[in-house]
Amino acid sequence: MTSTQYVPQRVAVKELERFIDETLLHCGTDEASATAVTRALVTASRMGTDSHGLRLLPHYVKALEGGRIKARPAMAFTRRMPATGHLDADDGFGHLAGYTAIEHAVDMAREVGIGAVAVGNSSHFGAAGCYALAASEEGMIGMAMCNSDPFVLLHGSQVPFHGTNPIAFSVPVEGRSPYLLDMATSSIPWNRVQQYGAIGRTLPPDVAADAGGRLTIEPDDVAALLPLGGAQFGFKGAGLAGVVEILSSTLSGMLNGFRLLPMGGPDMSTPRGIGHFFLVVQPQAFTDWVTFQRGLKEYLEDLGSRPALADREVLAPGDREWRCQAERDAEGIPMDSANWEAYERLAKEVGIAPLREC
C-alpha cells in the first residue's frame, strides 16, 4: 500500500499483559475485571484478531471514566435449572461476564453434560472466540454469541438492524490447538470499512450498502454492512444474526440490538445492557473421549488433505490464528503507530510505566 516499508513496533505478550492490567487497576477496576479484560484482549491480539485486541483498551478506559461500565460490578449468577443459569453482569465488563459465565457453564456441563448461561446487563466483551476457547481449555466444546448495536441490513432492507452478531465455536483437539471458528454474521467487520477508507482502498462487492440500502464499494458511502451471503443469499446471514440476537438478548431479558446505544458513543455514561449467550458441551456426554478424538483427527486429516486452489491453502478454522499466535509469541505483538501513541497517552493519563518495546 505504501512505498516505504513500515515496520511496526512490537510488544511482548507479558509486557502487554502488564500494561493492560495496570491501566485498568489504576482506573479503579477490581482485580477480576482487570484480569478478564487483559486475558481477552491479549488472547485476541496474540491470535491476530486485531479488531478485538489491544486497540480496544483506550475505548474501555473511556467507558470506565464515563460510567458506562462499572469498575467494580457485583455480578450475580443464578443457576435456574441443572443445565442453565442467568448471569446479571451488573453493567461490568463483558469480558468478566464472559469468563464467569463460561466457568459456570463448564461446571454444569461436567455435572449434567451441557451447561448454558444467558448474560444480561453486560457490555462489549471483545472477541467471542475467547470464551469458546476458555471452554476448550477445560476439554469442552464451547459456543459464544453476543448481540451489538445495528450495523447490518436485514435481507431486502434499506437500514441497519442487527449488529455483526458473532458466533464462536471451539472444539478441543488432542495434540493440537482447538478447532476455533469465530465469525461475524456479516461478511466483513465494521472496522474494515474504516481501515479501507483510511488507505483509499475500495471494498469487495456485495458486502456493504449506502444510506439507501444500495450496494457500494466506496468506504465513504457505506452506511451499513450486508449480512453474510450478500444481496442474494443474505437471508442466511441475517437469519443467523437473528439466532444470535434471540439467544443473546431475548433469552437474557435484554433489549434487542436495534435498540442498543451505539458502542462508539457519544453517551459514555449510560450502561448499554448487552446480552451474551454461552453454551458448553461435554463430548463424553455423547460418546467416549477416544472415539470423539479419533473422529476429530480423521475429520481434520481429511480436511487438510483436500487439494487447494493455486496459491491457496486449505485450513481448518483457527489454523491461521494459531500460526499467528506462535509467530507473535516469538516475535512480539505488532502495534501500529496510532495504537502505540494511544498507549503512550494512556500511560501518562493513568500514571503507569509506558509500554516497553520488545
Residues 179-238 that bind a copy of itself (CB under 8 A): 179, 181, 183, 187-188, 204, 207, 213, 228-230, 232-233, 235-238
Q: How far is CA 136 from CA 44, 175, 318, in A?
A: 16, 13, 13
The residues facing 160 across adjacent strands are 153
The residues facing 279 across adjacent strands are 116, 143
* Cell numbers linked to 53: 485486541
Q: Which stretch binds a copy of itself (CB under 8 A): 1-9, 17-25, 58-66, 107-115?
A: 107-115
Least Å distance between CB 87 and a copy of itself? 10
Least Å distance between CB 277 and a copy of itself? 9
Cα 73 to chain center, whole Å? 21
Q: Give the integer Cα–Cα distance in Å for 199 and 188.
A: 17
Least Å distance between CB 10 and a copy of itself? 27
* Cell numbers linked to 145: 454469541
Least Å distance between CB 239 and a copy of itself? 4
Q: Give the integer Cα–Cα distance in Å for 109 and 175.
A: 23
Beta strands 114-122 and 84-88 are: parallel
**Interface mask (CB under 8 A) for a copy of itself, residues 266-305, using x and -?**
---------------xxx-xxx---xx--xx-xx--xx--
Q: Among 255, 347, 350, 352, which residue interacts with a copy of itself (rule: CB under 8 A)?
A: 255
Binding residues for a copy of itself restricted to 122-181, rule: CB under 8 A: 141, 154-159, 161, 167, 169, 171, 179, 181
- Strand, helix or coil for residue 269: coil
Least Å distance between CB 161 and a copy of itself? 5
Closer residue to a copy of itself, CB minimum distance, 118 or 193? 118
Angle at 317 between CA 41 and CA 230, to 5 degrees: 95
Least Å distance between CB 326 and a copy of itself? 20
Least Å distance between CB 33 and a copy of itself? 24
Q: Among 2, 6, 312, 348, which residue interacts with a copy of itself (rule: CB under 8 A)?
A: 312
Q: Among 74, 76, 308, 353, which residue interacts with a copy of itself (rule: CB under 8 A)?
A: 308
> Are the C-beta atoms of residues 188 and 325 closer than 8 Å to each other?
no
Least Å distance between CB 115 and a copy of itself? 8
> Are the C-beta atoms of residues 339 and 9 closer than 8 Å to each other?
no
Q: Give the integer Cα–Cα distance in Å for 37 and 238.
A: 29
Angle at 48 between CA 44 and CA 51, to 5 degrees: 65
Closer residue to a copy of itself, CB minimum distance, 67 or 253? 253
Q: Among 249, 263, 272, 339, which residue interacts with a copy of itself (rule: CB under 8 A)?
A: 249
Closer residue to a copy of itself, CB minimum distance, 54 or 114? 114
Q: Give the integer Cα–Cα distance in Å for 169 and 84.
A: 18
Q: Kindly state the greatest CA–CA separation across the chain.
A: 60
Q: How many residues bind a copy of itself (CB under 8 A)?
A: 82
41 binds a copy of itself (CB under 8 A): no
Beta strands 114-122 and 274-281 are: antiparallel
86 binds a copy of itself (CB under 8 A): yes
